[in-house]
A and B are shown apart, each in its own frame.
Chain A
Amino acid sequence: MICGGGLAAHITVAMLSRQLPATIGITFVQLGDTSGTDLFYGSVAGPTAYAFNRSAGLEEPKLVLESDTAFSWGTKYDHWASGSRSWIQCFQLPLPIIDGVMFHHYVVQQGVAQLEPFLAAAAAARKGAFVHPPQKPGAGQEPLSRSEYGYQFDAMSYGGLFDACTDRGRVRIVNATTLEIERDESGIAAILLASGERIAGDLFVDCTGPDALVVSRVGSSFAARRKLGAAISHSPSAQLGAPMRTVSPTSFGWRSETPLRGRRARLTVYHPDSTADALQEHPDGAERTCEITLGRRSDAWCGNCVAIGQAAYVVEPLSTAPLLLLERDVERLMSLIPSSTDMSIERREYNRQSAEDHEHAELFTRAILETDHFPDTPYWQAVRAEPTNEKFARKIELFQDRGLLVSYDLEPFNPEDWTILHFGMGRGPARHDRMADRAPRDRVQGFLARMKRDVEKAVASLPSHATYMAELSRYLTQNRL
């Protein structure tokens, strides 16, 4: 029994209907309007999306042909840290380890403050160019083969894609406006609709967004943090923009620009006290606005009810964290579909992983916000007032001090994400790994110069995102079976 609507519900229903055996019946009670809160899933999916979508039955060609989704190398944080620093938080496979020493130590040793010249995805993003990274690189393509890509999306149309690929014969879909819950000793026995219909189930999945209409009624409480507002507007664009989202800090919070196909999305995220300032960024008026409270529920899985996505926690869409966490929720649920009505093992393990994922993703978001160079306005004051923990301090301190990446078990963001972020934020380490000094300086210099040149060369000949997308669409249309 899945309750809810919007992105989380459509993804969950698609995955369950695709992967569960026919012996398990699936009912989807479509309920509530999540078009506002879905803004908080952001507009960028990371490189995990490709495989995730496939396992839910959504193939990339469909995504290209049937939505305004575009490709993405990542996010540019524009004039972000230390006043004027900008960097591109691109998706990257592990950087080379040379003589047992991680790449970035050589960069520091040479006194280079930026990682970006060595990242092909960042260079391509800056140029507005895209191709699929080659699996087996041809001549001159090596730098790109270490790049990864994700998608730029509009939450509503992205959710629609999953909805469209759900097998209607497999899922019973019921529309509802309100619901009541019939409880029993294991949690929920059934859901009662306004129509009088009673829908019983063994496992209930709550995809109703931050209101958590189901799980909140079986005892899961919400630990609230900052309050945020979000507003979105779109402007038409004749030509597809760069495969990159741009995020800029403002006095009210931050603003992002995401090129989609045929339009650009502008999202503002702000402190509720600064709503008026934020709305000025949408000259033709905001299409949708929403206020929300960041935080996490005590238990994502309570009794026989599992909360997915925002029903379990609300995170800020400053990084790819919201969608990444949603994907991980759905995958975790799939691997822990209970085998009996006693779900205590599944529940404990699900909640343990969910809490860790949330905590670790929040470390990443916090690391983007952790600097003294932002204005003294309500949004930034609220950010600064939030406490950090020891795990966070260790990550920052050891990188800043010696370029060491402190990692915890199975974090959502990988070491490359962290390395790029630290460099972007100007946390270039004070000292480098001493073992890097064994290599002759001129050879290291030569190596880095060559790598930078290779990146420039590889990117120089790439087609623009718009051209590539147009040709890919034409190819897929012609070759569609």
Chain B
Amino acid sequence: MPPAEIETVCIVGGGTAGWMTAAGLSQKLQGLPVSIRLIESEEIGTVGVGEATLPHIRSFNNTLNINEPEFMRETEATFKLGIEFCDWGRIGDRYIHPFGDFGPIVNEVPFYHHWLRMKAQGDASRLDEYSFPIMAAERNRFRRPSDDLSKVESTFGYAYQFDASLYAKFLRRYSEGKGVTRTEGKIVGTNLNSETGFVDSVQLDTGAVVSADLFIDCSGFRGLLIEQALQTGYDDWSNWLPCNRAIAVPTESRGRLGPFTRATARKSGWQWRIPLQQRVGNGYVYCSDFISDDDAERELLDNLDAPKIADPKPLRFTTGRRRMLWNKNVVAIGLSGGFLEPLESTSIHLIQDGITELIHLFPDKAFRQSDIDEYNRRMALHFERVRDFLLLHYVATQRDDSEMWRYFRSMTLPESLQEKISAWTTRGYIIKYEFGLFLPPSWIAVMLGQNLVPGGYDRRVDAVSDNDLVSNASAIRANVSAAVRETPDHADFIRQIGAAATLQSVAVDAR
């Protein structure tokens, strides 16, 4: 007889991770005899894990059959074409890491190699001019990608900037509509099975005891089940990514609404700016070894471009990940599984990965070790590859104007990252992988944007004549600018599709 199927799932914690998990599972398990319960406490605040997302969020929303304008109204969302990085390579530099490629493949070779040759021959065009999402973002314009793959308007993806706590609320309504039961209460104890060490049940302050076959720990940094109960252990990555604190503060919305997030490098960390419909999320991620909390707060408040509308809120964290994200019958999703600073908006994405892989490897009551091992292998790879990409931002730099930047200068990098950087600087070669978040254009954008200019390019490019090289490039550029001219203003587009909530009045005032 095959082992019995899972009948009960208990999600511990109701922040972004908890409600995303509840929504994802309730959709996927709908019609099957599985009951899902989520326990959360109004008393415990949630950490909004960053308000900017990556294009993959759209496939998550699509799976849930979420209506885009409705979702955007409910979460104060704006569109996002990429991230603008300021002062990273050198103070005064800026570049956009776009959700899209730089030009097409020409004669088997990615376009940027052709551009590298032109640059070596003295051409002054920026690689950005071959990217639709960068050129549109710089002009605060937005449209959805075209379905016609022959058009430059199809060469990008997009994401959202939204209020994560409103997103959690939105998904709570969705999940409850799909039959998820919400239980109010604080967990005061965990009961482990004396033979297997599995979590049998959790004890609430209300006196209730909740048992389940599968527990999903979305309790945040504390890791109530995965760590406090099962003592799984944590791999601390602070030596690579030493930032360990953040302060967040919202401001009024001013100026034109940009379809991009901004990350500005500072002496002891970096500052984010995320424009939503009616306000702007700001924050300073820093390392406490290099700056005091008071100084960090002052630096943040001094660098806001509009009046704040709430008090600054501090956060603490340790970069790294849980040694196993799935241990016995507990799966850790969200901050309980690990934390990587939101420099590339990966927090919500890692939640999504956790949910997707769990669905692929959804267990039965036998909890086979092979399933657990495979889940942990996949998640470890996701985390490590994001870590390397984040670290790239700190080490691909000419800055040495503070203790933090000097710390990164003297660092020995993970071998996988060192190889990637060397292959790029030597010959513009991108070492590819299949299972990881960031595709070659992302690596190109950051390395080039932070002044790592390759010493060579793909030799096949030299087989193209000078004339063809230049005329092909200017045709792509012309194509991109023509497409951008036809693209509507970002704020107008949000209004047009009926996605504006508070945007209307604010935007009119701002003009």
Contacts and interface: CB of A to CB of B under 8 A. Distances in A.
Contact of A434 (B5, B374, B433, B434): B5
A437 interface: yes
Interface in B337-383: 359-362, 364, 368, 370-371, 373-374
Interface string A318-339: 0000000000000000111111
Given A345-B427, A348-B419, A435 B370 contact: no
A406 interface: yes
A408 B462 CA distance: 34
Size band of the interface chain B makes with A? 35 or more
B396 to A, nearest CB: 17
Contact of B30 (A338, A397, A438): A438
Contacts of B460: 19-21, 334, 337
B32 interface: yes
A20 B463 contact: yes
A340 B425 CA distance: 13
Given A23-B462, A345-B426, A438 B108 contact: no
A332 to B, nearest CB: 11
B434 A346 contact: no
A409 B434 contact: yes
Size band of the interface chain A makes with B? 35 or more
A55 B422 contact: no
A372 interface: no
Contacts of B435: 407-409
A200 interface: no
Interface in A383-418: 394, 397-398, 401-402, 404, 406-410
A438 B32 contact: yes
B429 A349 contact: yes
A434 B463 CA distance: 54
Could you say which of B107, B368, B422, B460 has the most chain A C-beta atoms within 10 Å of its C-beta?
A: B460
Interface in A30-70: 55
B2 A431 contact: yes
A174 B338 CA distance: 61
Interface in A1-47: 19-24
Contacts of B107: 19
Contacts of A55: 108
Contacts of A334: 108, 460
Contacts of B370: 394, 397-398, 401
A20 B429 contact: no
A55 B108 CA distance: 8
Interface string B418-450: 010011001101011111000000000000000
Given A20-B459, A401-B368, A430-B2, A339 B427 contact: yes
Given A339-B455, A437-B32, A21 B362 contact: no
Given A100-B63, A336-B429, A435-B359, A349 B30 contact: no
Contact of B456 (A19, A339, A397, A431): A339
A337 B32 CA distance: 55
Nearest to A22: B463
A367 B159 CA distance: 41
Contacts of B28: 100, 435
A346 B429 CA distance: 9
A100 B107 CA distance: 36
Given A398-B374, A435-B362, A335 B429 contact: yes
A349 B374 contact: no
Contacts of B419: 348-349
A385 B107 CA distance: 46
B425 to A, nearest CB: 9
A116 B418 CA distance: 46
Contacts of B431: 349
Interface string A199-211: 0000000000000
B470 interface: no
Contacts of B31: 437-438
A23 B462 CA distance: 8
B89 to A, nearest CB: 22
B130 interface: no
Contacts of B433: 409-410
A338 B458 CA distance: 8
Contact of B463 (A19, A338, A433, A438): A19
Contacts of A348: 419
Interface in A207-227: none
Interface in A419-441: 430-431, 433-435, 437-438
Given A345-B429, A404-B360, A339 B457 contact: yes
Contacts of A402: 371
Contacts of B423: 345, 349
Interface in A343-375: 345-346, 348-349
B29 interface: yes
Contact of A19 (B29, B108, B422): B108
A415 to B, nearest CB: 11
Contacts of B359: 100, 435
Interface in A85-114: 100
Interface string B444-486: 0000000000011111111100000000000000000000000
Contacts of B456: 339-340
B63 A337 contact: no
B458 A404 contact: no
A397 B426 CA distance: 42
B325 to A, nearest CB: 17
Nearest to A334: B460
Contacts of B32: 434-435, 437-438
B108 A404 contact: no
Could you say which of A335, A337, A346, A408 has the most chain B C-beta atoms within 10 Å of its C-beta?
A: A335
Nearest to B431: A349
A340 B5 CA distance: 60
Given A404-B374, A438-B32, A339 B459 contact: yes
Nearest to A345: B426
Interface string B88-108: 000000000000000000011
Nearest to A23: B462
A410 B422 contact: no
Contacts of B63: 100
A336 B427 CA distance: 9
Interface in B485-502: none
A339 B120 CA distance: 14
A338 B426 CA distance: 10
A160 to B, nearest CB: 24
A337 B427 CA distance: 10
A398 B28 CA distance: 21
B419 to A, nearest CB: 7
A172 to B, nearest CB: 18
A109 to B, nearest CB: 13
Could you say which of B107, B427, B456 has the most chain A C-beta atoms within 10 Å of its C-beta?
A: B427
Nearest to B359: A435
B459 A21 contact: yes
Given A349-B419, A401-B370, A407 B434 contact: yes
B432 A337 contact: no
Nearest to A440: B31
Contacts of B427: 336, 338-339, 345-346
Nearest to A406: B374
Given A345-B423, A349-B423, A433-B362, 17 more contacts: A19-B108, A20-B460, A21-B460, A21-B461, A21-B463, A334-B108, A335-B458, A345-B422, A346-B427, A394-B370, A408-B434, A431-B2, A434-B362, A434-B364, A435-B28, A435-B362, A438-B29
21 contacts: A21-B460, A22-B463, A100-B28, A334-B108, A335-B458, A338-B427, A339-B427, A340-B456, A346-B427, A348-B419, A394-B373, A398-B374, A401-B370, A402-B371, A404-B361, A409-B435, A410-B432, A433-B362, A434-B364, A435-B28, A438-B31
Interchain residue pairs A-B with the least CB separation, the first 8: A339-B456, A21-B462, A337-B459, A21-B463, A438-B31, A409-B434, A345-B426, A409-B433
